[in-house]
Structure 1
Amino acid sequence: MQRTYLVLVLGNTLAASFIWGINTLFLLDAGLTNFEAFAANAFYTVGVLVFEIPTGVVADTLGRRASYLLGSATLALTTALYWLLWVWEAPFAAWAVVSALLGLGFTFFTGAVDAWLVDALEATGFRGSLEQVFGRAQIVGGGAMLAGSVAGGVLAQLVDLGAPMLVRAAILVAMIGVAAALMRDLGFSPDRSEGPIRATRTVLRESWRHGMRSAPVRWLLLASPFTAGVGFYVFYALQPHLLQLWGDESAYSIAGLAAALLSGAAMLGGALAPLVRRWFPRRTSTILLAAVTSALVLVLLGVVQSFWIAVVLVALWGVMSAIDDPVRRAYLNDLIPSKQRATVLSFDSLLGGAGSTAFQPVLGRTADLGGYGASLLVSGALSALAVPFILLSRAQHARADTAQEVTAPAEPGGEADGGPEVEAPPTC
């Protein structure tokens, strides 16, 4: 199960990373302004907001494998459409529509793949640390991101900015075949007894119960708009920002360096996450450390004018984000029951998308008026707003905060919900 999961992470990240290093430049080359480019990205997150819960219901009712296959097919098609818009120099309205459909494709993935893994691990008697599993995925994803982002930047410089889009679409098509052959839903039986509307109501009700009504989950979810939302903007703003600091805005391989740095940081952070987890008895300590450090680094990125100092700061930001990711995912998965896992994880992604939808046009406009440095300063201030919510989640003393192995979540009203402590169930 872990090997299959790592293959999926490898393929997904490789496909996506081919355009990560040049995406903003690709949009600007199509004739969009900074405001329009980041507004197009915001429409992607609008798509996430609109489709996140319905596609989470697909994963919980039709199965995680079906959701993954639908996501791969949707992303392959919309990536090809993105390339066509660039060829046609299409108006902003067309970019907005296709960006929203890209969001639809990604929502089939969010929650479904992690839920598939955790369910399968429980079903096969896994007794290890989720941080270690997610850390390995971070290393594999970082390697794929490093290869893809560098190759995408070089390919854009040797051919054109549209070539990485075509490669991405081809890899996604290949991943449909891989997933069809390797993925099997284990430890989870999709419930197809209800119609789609009634099933949506049922899943939403139960997800609310195990999500927003569970105090440690609720506060962690409410931090997402300020971490994931800001992080989405920063990732793409770093490309043109580093180019400006370098002094040659046509050096696309330097733009790919931002993504390459973050991919190397992801590998290092994934390897360090289990070690850092052993340093801190509580998962929220690691999450809190990452949030505070990331906010400070973004503020520094907004004021430094040295390319090489900025490179070091980008690497630090990437390492802290990569250390945070496996620990946060393990904490959240341990808090959510299996049947609602995919939808609650999708709701987490939805809230991150809501933050991205709200912040990206504002930060893009800030970049138009005051430069990328000013927008990174504002980004640092916004990301710092996540800290109080992490502290509130920590204050609930959930059993998952100190768990070392996969555990079954407590029902709302038990200790995981911030209520009286209950006897720990046996580990899965």
Structure 2
Amino acid sequence: MLVRRTYYLLTAGNTLAGSLIWGINTIFLLDAGLSNLAAFAANACFTAGMVLFEVPTGVVADLWGRRASFLLGTVTLAGTTGLYVWLWRLHAPFWPWAVASLLLGLGFTFFSGAVEAWLVDALTATGSTEPLEAVFARGQVVGGVAMLTGSVAGGYLAQLTNLGVPFLVRAGVYALMFALAAVLMRDLGFTPDRSLPPVARMRRIAADSVRYGWRVRQVRLLMLAAPFTGGIGVYVFYALQPHLLNLFEDERAYGIAGLAAAAVAGAQIVGGLLAERIGRLFPHRLTAYLALEAAGVLALVGLGLAGQFWAALGLIVVWAVLGSAGMPLRQAYVNGLIPSQQRATILSFDSLMASTGGVVTQPALGRVADLWGYPASFLVSSVVSACALPFLVKARNGDTTDSAVPATAPDKRAAERHE
């Protein structure tokens, strides 16, 4: 119980800190003097930072512990968030924003993989029999509540003060999360192997991660689908802010931009609550996940065609619910195939694949928005997102396991059966 509560607290705190600026981030960059192309190129540099640092920071988590990785992440994000405010006040040119965004991506890579790996290992060590998708889904609900709170608060805080204040509050929350994690987080069920020198350990972890991650057919196919779904998800989320302001016809109604992020947060709560129920409607987790992703493509088409504020907002909610319901199913499935010792590195590599798509799609779609508007960029997004579906179909057709069985304690033998 303590492990789950700590996980929910860390999820809530991290999401609250992040979401304070999610509703206004694109507006913040545009207010600093960047164009749509430059703003989304800066976001792409953030994503590139995640690509560059995902596996190295995953190795840090596997070598020195998930707790150490989490603490490094909070420190890095607090510092880079403050740097963002400084650049905004200076109206800095693009290149400093690119460097700051790369460092921001570094901060998030310390979290990705590490927290999820910490949870699964700790649950296994404490003898938990609760299905992983139930824990992940509940964590998603907790994160959704925190995101709903943070996005609305950040939007209206910016409206009442200025666009820089939510960023300063965010840095403070990350500092608080450092203190909480230092007290509450312990690496249960995980003992780093320090029998080899550091460089040799890193080589072995990387090699094992390829063996039990990329070479596992089902995991590989899901990773190949990730650039299309992950890259589009980031672009659409941030493009919603100025798009809804345009439809609302009030460019300074920052609370409306916060409402867009809040709508996604509410959808995340609903999706988390529905994940288990939707999973039971299908004989296989991957079948459920494929159906949700396909429906999400159609929702993006509708968003691109919608010309009214409330219609667009409704379609945003539908798109976000579909994505949120599918994520716990995917997380539980992947974690059921990978071993503990390489878990953080493999999950970081999975996150890297999703981030890779964002490096290319964000500036490209930002340019589409500059030339033809946000609705056209959403239609292009639906086409790119649909490219993930063939990989998911192939993964589902090639899996003969009973993935409806709840995942609890994955091991190397489970991975080897899928080679």
TM-score by length of 2: 0.97
Displacement, 1:199?
2.2
Q: Does 1:235 align with 2:243?
A: no
| CA pair 160-413 structure 1, distance change in 2 beyond 3 A | closer
Alignment partners' CA distance in 1, 2:90 and 2:202: 39
Displacement, 1:277?
1.4
Q: Does 1:53 align with 2:58?
A: no
Residue 313 of structure 1 corresponds to: 315
User: Secondary structure in 2 aligned to 1:211?
Assistant: helix
| 2:138/2:272 contact within 8 Å kept | yes
User: Secondary structure in 2 aligned to 1:276?
Assistant: helix
Say which of 244, 247, 252 aligns to 2:246. Answer: 244
Say which of 253, 259, 262 aligns to 1:260. Answer: 262
Residue 280 of structure 2 corresponds to: 278
Alignment partners' CA distance in 1, 2:275 and 2:346: 23
Displacement, 1:319?
0.5
Residue 83 of structure 1 corresponds to: 85
| 1:45/1:103 contact within 8 Å kept | yes
Residue 421 of structure 1 corresponds to: none
Residue 227 of structure 2 corresponds to: 225
Residue 424 of structure 1 corresponds to: none
Say which of 88, 101, 104 aligns to 2:103. Answer: 101
Q: Does 1:155 align with 2:157?
A: yes
Displacement, 1:412?
7.4
Q: What is the CA deviation profile of residues 83-111 of structure 1, one whole-angstrom value per residue up to 9, with x for unaligned ones?
A: 11101111110000000000000000000
Residue 416 of structure 1 corresponds to: 418
Displacement, 1:294?
1.0
Residue 203 of structure 1 corresponds to: 205
| 2:232/2:381 contact within 8 Å kept | yes
| 1:62/1:191 contact within 8 Å kept | no
Q: Does 1:388 align with 2:390?
A: yes
Alignment partners' CA distance in 2, 1:82 and 1:194: 40
Alignment partners' CA distance in 2, 1:399 and 1:79: 44
User: Secondary structure in 2 aligned to 1:298?
Assistant: helix
| 1:209/1:412 contact within 8 Å kept | no
Q: Percent identity?
A: 56
Q: Which amino acid aligns with 1:327?
A: L
Cα root mean square deviation, aligned: 1.2
Q: What is the CA deviation profile of residues 359-408 of structure 1, one whole-angstrom value per residue up to 9, with x for unaligned ones?
A: 11100000000100011001010001111111121123253623224142
Q: What is the CA deviation profile of residues 227-259 of structure 1, one whole-angstrom value per residue up to 9, with x for unaligned ones?
A: 111101110001111111111111111111110
Q: Does 1:118 align with 2:88?
A: no
| 2:58/2:114 contact within 8 Å kept | yes
| 1:331/1:401 contact within 8 Å kept | yes
Alignment partners' CA distance in 1, 2:11 and 2:415: 35
| CA pair 398-411 structure 1, distance change in 2 beyond 3 A | farther
| CA pair 101-398 structure 1, distance change in 2 beyond 3 A | farther
**How do 1:175-194 and structure 2 match up within 5 A?**
175-194=177-196
| CA pair 189-287 structure 1, distance change in 2 beyond 3 A | same
Alignment partners' CA distance in 2, 1:401 and 1:394: 10
Alignment partners' CA distance in 2, 1:124 and 1:278: 27
User: Secondary structure in 2 aligned to 1:335?
Assistant: coil
Structure 2 residue ranges without an equivalent (≥5): none
| 2:8/2:139 contact within 8 Å kept | yes
Displacement, 1:129?
1.0
Alignment partners' CA distance in 1, 2:398 and 2:410: 17
Displacement, 1:350?
0.5
| 1:214/1:412 contact within 8 Å kept | no
| 1:79/1:169 contact within 8 Å kept | yes
